[in-house]
Amino acid sequence: MPITKELSNIRKLEAVGFPHEQAEVLTDIIEESHVDGQQSLKDFISRMPSAAFGRNQKGDF
């Protein structure tokens, strides 16, 4: 997550009453979850047979 997005998320959490330290921790947890989710999706897609995506053997659509 870009630093500007992270700071924006921290400010949003602080605006609804979270102390700065809690806002930082929550932002870190959200970022980790997002990164893990992206990697899991990439892993899942890479294991799918190409026929599932309607591709030919070369991987083209």
Average pLDDT over residues 5-25: 95
List the one residue out of 47, 50, 6, 44 whose CA is nearest residue 25.
6
Q: Residue 14: pLDDT above 90? A: yes
Q: What is the pLDDT of residues 30-43, one digit of tens each?
A: 888 888 888 888 88
Instruction: Report the alpha-carbon distance of residue 51 to residue 39 in Å, rounded.
Output: 22
How high is the pLDDT of residue 42?
82
